[in-house]
């Protein structure tokens, strides 16, 4: 065999290189796409806290209103012509009156006090009508067919109206603002009332002690 020409050798080498490049390109193929393995961080969803409505204020406990105690006012004095003494006790819408001459004549009356007006009556038919304010009472009283007028003032203790009652007798006392007492002891035969000890509200009747009650105006006889 003869020697190859250098050109032939060079050409063969070039062809080999081309073949190698073609084979390598078919085996290699396109480069794979890059896949990230980094962890996916999700953005937390912010949830607004639930709005809690303000608490409903507890209802205030109902207060039991206690009515104010009814005030008692006592008026005491004499009739205009001084024929008799008069005492009137008023409490709320009720009233009690006592009229006496300190010897034999007397009357207990009960009734109403409405919008300043007095309307009282006794069991035996005597009547007292008038009007009263915080300081005074004026009106008329009918006793044994006579009409007596009075204008008397409010009187503070111990002035006022007192009464002692039992099955056998009733005693009434009017204590006037000057401290004097007028009353009748009626056991069927009326007479002047014994003196009443205002500190103890005790009087002696025929050697027996009796206790008097302060009349406030809402009593019934």
Residue 17 confidence class, pLDDT cut points 50, 70, 90: very low
State the DSSP H helix or E strand holding residue 16, giving kind and residue range, or none if neither. helix 6-28
User: How much is the pLDDT for 70?
Assistant: 73
Q: Quote the pTM value.
A: 0.69
pLDDT of 34-55, one tens digit each?
444 444 444 445 555 555 656 6
pLDDT at 2 over 90: no
**Mean pLDDT, rounded, of the chain:** 81
pLDDT of 21-32, one tens digit each?
444 444 444 444
Quote the strand ranges of 20-145, DSSP E: 72-78, 85-91, 94-100, 106-114, 117-121, 127-132, 136-143
Q: Which residues pair with 141 in a beta bridge?
A: 128, 148
Instruction: Using a pLDDT cut of 90, give the percent of the chain over it.
Output: 65
Residue 130 confidence class, pLDDT cut points 50, 70, 90: very high
pLDDT at 68 over 70: no
User: How much is the pLDDT for 26?
Assistant: 47
Q: Which residues pair with 162 in a beta bridge?
A: 173, 214
User: How much is the pLDDT for 40?
Assistant: 46
């Amino acid at each position: 065999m003869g020697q190859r020409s250098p050109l032939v050798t060079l050409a063969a080498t070039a062809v080999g290189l081309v073949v190698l490049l073609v084979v390598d390109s078919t085996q290699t193929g396109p480069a794979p796409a890059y896949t990230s393995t980094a962890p996916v961080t999700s953005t937390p969803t912010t949830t607004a806290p639930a709005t809690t409505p303000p608490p409903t204020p507890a209802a205030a406990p109902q207060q039991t209103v206690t009515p104010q105690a009814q005030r008692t006012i006592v008026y005491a004095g004499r009739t205009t012509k001084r024929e008799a003494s008069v005492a009137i006790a008023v409490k709320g819408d009720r009233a009690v009156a006592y009229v006496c001459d300190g010897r034999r004549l007397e009357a207990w009356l009960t009734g109403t006090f409405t919008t300043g007006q007095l309307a009282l009556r006794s069991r035996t038919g005597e009547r007292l009508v008038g009007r009263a304010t915080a300081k005074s009472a004026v009106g008329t009283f009918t006793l044994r067919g006579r009409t007596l007028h009075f204008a008397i003032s409010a009187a503070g203790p111990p002035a006022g109206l007192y009464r002692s009652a039992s099955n056998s007798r009733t005693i009434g006392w009017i204590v006037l603002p000057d401290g004097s007492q007028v009353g009748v002891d009626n056991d069927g035969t009326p007479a002047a009332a014994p003196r009443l000890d205002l500190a103890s509200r005790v009087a002696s009747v025929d050697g027996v002690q009796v206790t008097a009650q302060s009349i406030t105006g809402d009593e019934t006889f």
